[in-house]
Chain A
Amino acid sequence: MALNITTLFNENALSLAGGALRVSPNDPSHIRRGKRALQFLLVMSLLGATAGIYVLFTGHHALGTTSEIPWGVLISTYVFFVVSSTGLCLVSSLGHVFGFKTFLPIAKRAIFFALVTLLIGFGVIATELERPFRLALMAVISPNFSAPIWWMGALYGLYMVLISAELFFLIKEDHRRARIVGAIGVIAAIAAHSNLGAVFGLLHARPFWYGPLMPIYFIASALVCGAAILMLIVYFTDYFGNNKQLRDENQNLLQSLGKLLALFVGIVIFFTIWKIIVGISGGHYHKSDVMLSLLVGKLFFSFWGMEMLVGLLIPFGILMSSKRKEPGYLAAAAALPMIGIFFVRYNFVYAGQMFSLKRVVGKFGEQISYSPPFKGQSSGFLPYTPSLAEMGIVVGAISAAILAYVIGSRILKLREEVSHD
């Protein structure tokens, strides 16, 4: 069933989008619930957009971040979105780039959602920057090639062009071109995302972030997101669809993705264990203090509860148990890491800044007092709570991503694809 890109411009597009949202009395009850959920997401997206515009106009004051904690939840949410985008690109490439037939049916949906999450990620970082429009200009006329952030922008820009072309060729069913562009896209995805790791990993002044581990860790967590999101997409396509043949195929695909997810979650657990051991084994007091805050301190719940239990251990348990073949359990095992990874990002971004660098902890127990006093100069601890506007943007961005996917995949007819032999 060849699809044409002109579908996009059909006058049908709007009515298709409307159809996804309009509750009709003939719909079965689960479809009606789904549509109500989408209406709710639309409201949340609009609220998020309002918060975003408010922040763009009022600037830094609308955010909970300070000169001491300059990067907050918007940075971690941006990372969360581009992690998802990279993961989707990498995991889906197994099918249409590397030729594993099982994963072929997911290609279009994955690349489309990769594009959606990337664009929403860009939107989130734009609200975080003090002057987002200037960045677009200055990155071109005054680039600094030694800055990881410049490379991050350039590589993600390239990646965006490549996955857009990939989606175009996939929709046109031009699999040869899609494969070539896809292969370059995979390289760009790895380059861009590991570079995002380097944005943190190259900061020598921040011992919790510094080191060559960061770029690798970022790629590993991207794979978790990619596999988990694809499982959710497959599961919900199934749930809201009523095609028997599609259902059997999807079951198989879901189980294969589940195996991959188990592997990726296992890798991230491995990384996390070593991060803990290196962190608490001394070396740098700043690093061990941050690690102790995660393990037994202020970030205890966020780390053990959300990051470890919800994000990694419970899903890993489900995926290794006898329930690993049941779609409902697989969907749960995919949803939990997504919640967990959101907290992984938040913990990661905040923890790197939670202790003031101005604090002196010397061999002889020096005490230092500053005038004018600095925040957190006695304990070194710097508090951060996201502002209402920041939380609005986060909720809006997540809602908008799901909404854009559901409506977009309907307009582009991505859902109806079956595997090509």
Chain B
Amino acid sequence: MTRYAMVCDQRLCVACNACVVACNNENGVPEGGTRCWTAQVQSGKFPNLKMETRSERCNHGENAPCVPACPTGASHHSDGGIVLVAKDKCVGCKACIVACPYEARYIHPEGHVEKCTFCIHRVRNGKKPACVTVCPTDALTFGDLDDRNSKIVKLLESRQSKVLRPEEHTKPRYLLLT
């Protein structure tokens, strides 16, 4: 089996937004929509300060709450567990947008909901997602969790990782190396 996942190395990410631009280009993201964005989290009190820098997107959870919320099955788990929206089944009820704890979805002007697809059209052709390809510091890694020799598995085995909003129990396939 294939279980696609992505990690972002917070030590390498510089929030340059190359991933955002690549994504918007690759997927023709309409104005007002966002599939990929960067976040800078500052915490602590001077002089003990901490900063996390990362790229964020749909977490493609194994328990993604958008999938059971969709009345027509438009939101579904596709190849390798990637969460997709089938454009022709989407009725625009927006239940998935309300259900998403990451606010990773938007309404396309044509009347359906869209989100990060892990660039499945590229992945199916053996390419990496657009955001991964352009990352100047190689902070983003995409791969198959069931492939023991893949870079992503090695990274997750050798480094500490965390997920966004663990309290939502979505079992994210988008992980952060800390």
CB distance from B98 to the nearest CB of A (A): 6
Tell whether, in the assembled complex, residue B43 and residue A70 are in contact, meaning their CB atoms are under 8 Å apart.
Answer: no
Given contacts A131-B92, A204-B168, contact A366 B71 (CB under 8 A): no
**A242 contacts the other chain (Cβ, under 8 Å)?**
no
Interface flags for B140-174 (1: CB within 8 Å of A; 0: not) read: 00000000000000000000000000001100000
Q: For residue B70, give the distance in angstroms from its CB to the closest CB of chain A.
A: 6
Kindly name the residue among A148, A205, A358, A372 whose own CB sees the greatest number of chain B CB atoms within 10 A.
A205
Contacts of B17 in A (CB 8 A): 371-372
Total A-B pairs in contact (CB under 8 Å)?
A: 146
Question: Does the CB pair A135–B99 fall under 8 Å?
Answer: no
**Chain A min CB distance to B85 (Å):** 12
User: Is B26 positioned at the interface, with any CB of A under 8 Å from its CB?
Assistant: no
Q: Does A77 contact B (CB under 8 A)?
A: no
Q: A67–B41 contact, CB under 8 A? A: no
Instruction: State A185–B96 Cα separation when bound (angstroms).
Output: 30
Query: Which residues of chain A are near B168, meaning CB under 8 Å?
Result: 204-205
Say yes or no: A129 contacts B92, CB within 8 Å: yes
Are A134 and B91 in contact, CB atoms less than 8 angstroms apart? yes
One digit per residue, 1 when the CB lies within 8 angstroms of any chain B CB and 0 when it does not, for chain A 123-161 equals 000000111101100110011101111100100000000
Interface pair B20/A371, CB less than 8 Å apart = yes
Assuming the A-B contacts A60-B107, A144-B70, A372-B20, are A130 and B92 also in contact, with contact meaning beta carbons closer than 8 angstroms in the complex? yes
Residues A59 and B109 in contact, CB atoms below 8 Å apart: yes
Nearest Cβ on chain B to A341's Cβ, whole angstroms = 22
Report if A368 contacts B (CB, 8 A).
yes
Chain A proximity of B79: nearest CB distance (Å):
19
| B122 CB → nearest A CB, Å | 22
Interface check A25, CB cutoff 8 A: no
Segment of B4-12, B32-40, B130-138 engaged in the interface with chain A: B32-40
Check A153/B20 contact, CB under 8 A, given A358-B103, A367-B41: no
Chain B interface residue bracket vs A: 35 or more
How far apart sit A204 and B38, CA to CA, in the bound complex (Å)?
A: 25
For chain A, what secondary structure do more than half of its interface residues adopt (helix, strand, loop), or is it mixed?
A: loop
A70, B94: Cβ atoms under 8 Å?
Answer: yes
| B 98-131 binary contact with A (CB < 8 Å = 1; else 0) | 1111110111010110000000000000000000
CA distance A364 to B42 in the complex (A): 10
| Inter-chain contacts of B68 with A (CB < 8 A) | 144, 146-147
> Are the CB atoms of A371 and B15 closer together than 8 Å?
yes
| Chain B, Cβ-Cβ closest to A151 | B71
Known contacts A60-B111, A204-B168; decide if A147 and B70 are in contact (CB<8 Å). Answer: yes
B65 and A71 within 8 A (CB): no
CB distance A206 to B98 under 8 Å?
yes
Report Cα–Cα, A356/B71, bound state, in Å: 24
Q: A130-B107, A131-B111, A206-B98 are in contact. Are A144 and B72 (CB under 8 A)?
A: yes
| Alpha-carbon distance between A304 and B17 when the two chains are bound, in angstroms | 45
Which of B20, B42, B95 sits near A367, CB closer than 8 Å?
Answer: B42
A99 → B minimal CB distance (Å): 38
Residues of chain A within 8 A (CB-CB) of B105 are 67
Supply 21 A–B pairs (Cβ within 8 Å), ascending by A: A59-B111, A66-B32, A70-B94, A130-B92, A130-B94, A131-B92, A135-B93, A138-B89, A142-B89, A147-B70, A147-B71, A148-B69, A149-B71, A150-B71, A202-B69, A205-B98, A352-B98, A357-B101, A367-B43, A370-B37, A372-B37
A residues with a Cβ closer than 8 A to B are 59-61, 65-68, 70-71, 129-132, 134-135, 138-139, 142-144, 146-150, 153, 199, 202-206, 352-353, 356-358, 360, 362, 364-372, 374
Apart from A138-B71, A149-B70, A368-B42, list 10 A-B contacts with CB within 8 A.
Answer: A60-B107, A67-B33, A135-B91, A147-B68, A147-B72, A149-B69, A149-B71, A357-B101, A360-B41, A374-B103
